[in-house]
Amino acid sequence: RKEVEQDPGPFNVPEGATVAFNCTYSNSASQSFFWYRQDCRKEPKLLMSVYSSGNEDGRFTAQLNRASQYISLLIRDSKLSDSATYLCVVNMAGGSYIPTFGRGTSLIVHP
């Protein structure tokens, strides 16, 4: 079982739709969680960190569920420019920093 799992998609949604991705992780001792965005095999870039209390940045909302060991990303009012791959990243080890990536979820927003 992979340590960080994501549905690869693709998720095909029309502009204006709301779409949600989940990511599950296996190590209950994981300490920090992130969503990164990657465009067309370019370098990944941080979209947002995920805090226990949840956090929101404009149209994007991230949440953490430690009991069920998953994080989620909600995108409201999807734009064409949101089309990308969304990577879930979990810091797997306590005491050192070893970010582990999920395989990514592909989002395609169409007119």
First to last CA, the chain: 37
Dihedral of CA atoms 57, 30, 25, 87 in degrees, nearest 10, equals 40
Report CA-CA distances (Å) from 41 to 45, 61, 84, 86, 104: 11, 24, 10, 12, 12
| Chain-centre distance for alpha carbon 71 | 7
Task: Establish if 53 lies at the interface with other proteins (CB under 8 A).
Answer: no
- Nearest-approach distance from CB 106 to other proteins, in angstroms: 11
Spatial separation of the C-alpha atoms in residues 93 and 87, rounded to whole Å = 18
What SS3 state is found at 82?
helix
Task: Establish if 66 lies at the interface with other proteins (CB under 8 A).
Answer: no
Task: Establish if 52 lies at the interface with other proteins (CB under 8 A).
Answer: no
Question: Is the CB of 8 or the CB of 16 nearer to other proteins?
Answer: 8
Task: Establish if 96 lies at the interface with other proteins (CB under 8 A).
Answer: yes
Instruction: Among 16, 57, 66, 98, indicate the residue that binds other proteins (CB under 8 A).
Output: 98
- Nearest-approach distance from CB 77 to other proteins, in angstroms: 26
- Nearest-approach distance from CB 1 to other proteins, in angstroms: 14
Binding site for other proteins (CB under 8 A): 31-32, 34, 36, 41-46, 49, 87, 89, 91, 96-104
